[in-house]
Structures are given as C-alpha cells and as structure tokens.
Amino acid sequence: MLIKIKKTSDICPSEITSESVYSSRRSFIAGATAGVGLMAAGISPFSSAALSTTYPNLITTPYGRGETLTPYDDVTSYNNFYEFGTDKSDPKKYAHEMTVDPWSVSVEGEADKTGVFQLEDLLKGVSLEERIYRLRCVEAWSMVIPWVGLPLNKVLEKFKPNSKAKYVEFETLQRPSEMRGQRSYLTSLEWPYVEGLRIDEAMHPLTILAVGVYGKSMPNQNGAPLRLVVPWKYGFKSIKSIVKIKFTEKRPVTSWEKSGPSEYGFYSNVNPGVDHPRWSQKRERRLPNSLFSPNRIDTAMFNGYADEVASLYRGMDLRKNF
C-alpha cells in the first residue's frame, strides 16, 4: 500500500536517485527476501530465528523515496554508541559482544497494561514498513537511511497510557560485561543511557521503532534489536537497544542533558538557527564524504520535516527550549 502525501519533507528533484538505481536497490531487497519465506513458514519476523536475516513483505511508504541513500557500509561503520567506545569505529568493532537474543522490554509507569514483554510479543500484530529518513547528528554530519520499522504509536497504544502519561522515557541496555564503554572511565555519561519524548512527540506518525536497515535485521552497532528513530531531532534522541519504556507524568532528565545541560537540551530539535556552543548547526556534511569532496549541505529546520511537526511546538521559544 502506497499513499502519496506532498510535504516539504518530500525530496527535491535535485536529490533524487535515478529510477534505474533505485529500482535496482528494490530488486536486490526483493530478491533477498524471496528466498527467506519467514511468514510462509510461520516464523515471526521479530523472533530469534529472524534476527540475522532479511525482512520480507515490507510495506512501501513515500518517506524519502528516491533520495540518495548513504551506503550500507557507512551506515554500519560510522556510529555513535558510547556503550562500546567513543570512536566512530568502536561500535562496529565491539558491538558483536552484546547478546541480543533473547530480548525483552519492560513497560512501566502511567499505563493500564505494564510488565515485561518479549520482543516478538511487544511488536506482534503490527506490519513492518520501510521508511527512508534523514538522520542529522548534533555533531553536524548526516546520513540518509532506509529503516525497517513500525510506528511507535501502534506499540504504545497497546499499553493504554492514562491521562497522567505526559512523557515517555526510554532506557538502553546496561550490561558492562558485554558493553566495554560502560566499563570505561573516558566517558562523562551515566549508565544506563536514558532518553525521553513528550507523549505527543512519541505518538506522532513520523516517530518509529526500528528493527532493521536496508531491508535487513538491525546490526548491533546500530542499536539492535530495537531502537527509536525520531527524524526531526538530533540523532542522539533516537535511543538504541531499548530495554525499558516508561510512561511518566514528570519530564525525564536525559543522559546528554545531564552530562551537558547547556549543550544538549531535552527537545534537541534540528534547528539551524540555534548553534551548538562549540560549532555551527547551519550546515552539515552528508556521508559519504572526503577531504576533497566534503559534501556539505544546508541544514533544514526540523531536518526537513517542518510541515509535519512544527505544530507540536507552536508558541514555544525554540531557542530557550532547545
């Protein structure tokens, strides 16, 4: 099912990959999925049997169709995941040490249905989609990634949050024995890693839970097996390897906010008009790039998703509420 909705986040003609290249990519994914037959075999795409395979039967969406994608090797080798180290290459080197099967998520707080849920049960009954989103890091680099995921609101609605649920807090796995960055003295972050959204941000149709990239299951270094993707916010808001979801009345204090409150606010919306204290946010370098081909582009308000999300912040001072 494909529904076309014209938004400013739609890709400009100058950004569009040729039809033959895009069709070839889709054909590759389709060919890879054809032989898997998970659904025909009665295997849930979220079960342990599917963690290292390709996802079949993805719903095609209009998000980012035709945009030039960041190559898979860059997406999976240039990462911030401080639980495995502070260098961009550390996650790919060491994230394989993290066990992702089995995986469960604790749901807590202001909701009628809470408890500990296995991943396949948490996501049961919701169809997977491919959504191509821009990812803008607060460090002023960016990617374009074809995520495999599902709307977060479809999952959260299962737990029936009550009227006190004003925020949703997320927590990353804390397992120092498998996550060497959590054993390091070279990071200013406190563990476990915590992020949060207002309930309306969490329920917004653009916000997804991702379980894969490029039609394949999520690599550990990208946040396997379950991560958040909030495309209009800086990348660190899209918390990885989620083990806890908590509905709260009080706004959570997030990890980067706690580490550097003058640099990393709770909202962290992509905003070229509000610079980081140590660098400009007006431009970004789109990966892949090099010294002789820096691939620098202007940063768009809300990362190009203003038509969809600007109403969430109507009347707010976005310089104060950064």
Provide the residue ranges of all domains of the chain, joining segments of one domain with +. Answer: 13-312
- pLDDT value at residue 15: 41
Q: Is the pLDDT of residue 193 over 70?
A: yes
In this structure, the dihedral spanned by the alpha carbons of residues 189, 258, 122 and 154, taken in order and rounded to 10 degrees, is: -140
Q: Is the pLDDT of residue 215 over 50?
A: yes
Q: Find the largest Cα–Cα distance for the chain.
A: 56
DSSP string covering 95-128? GGGS--SS-EEEEEESBSS-EEEEHHHHTTT---
Q: Specify the range with the lowest mean pLDDT, choosing from 56-65, 213-222, 281-290.
A: 56-65
241 sits in which H/E element: none
Q: Specify the range with the lowest mean pLDDT, choosing from 48-52, 104-108, 255-259.
A: 48-52
Q: Which long-range contacts (CB under 8 A, 24 or more apart) does 34-42 make?
A: none
pLDDT (mean) for 124-131: 93
First to last CA, the chain: 37
Residue 60 tokens, joined? 């095609």
Half-sphere exposure of 216 (CA within 13 A, CB side): 15
Angle at 240 between CA 71 and CA 55, to 5 degrees: 55
Q: What percent of the chain has pLDDT over 90?
A: 79
**13-312 under CATH 3.90.420.10, yes or no:** yes
Q: Is the pLDDT of residue 213 over 50?
A: yes
Query: Within 35-104, where are the H helices?
Result: 72-75, 90-94
Mean residue pLDDT of the chain comes to 87
Q: Is 295 left (phi over 0), alpha (psi -120 to 50) or beta?
A: left
Query: Which neighbouring-strand residues pair with 194?
Result: 171
More confidently predicted of 42 and 279: 279
Query: Which neighbouring-strand residues pair with 229?
Result: 208
- pLDDT value at residue 101: 94
Give the Cα separation of 180 and 268 in Å (integer). 27
Query: Within the chain, where are the H helices?
Result: 19-34, 72-75, 90-94, 119-122, 152-156, 199-202, 255-259, 306-309
More confidently predicted of 289 and 31: 289
User: What's the pLDDT band for 8 if we cut at 50, 70, 90?
Assistant: very low
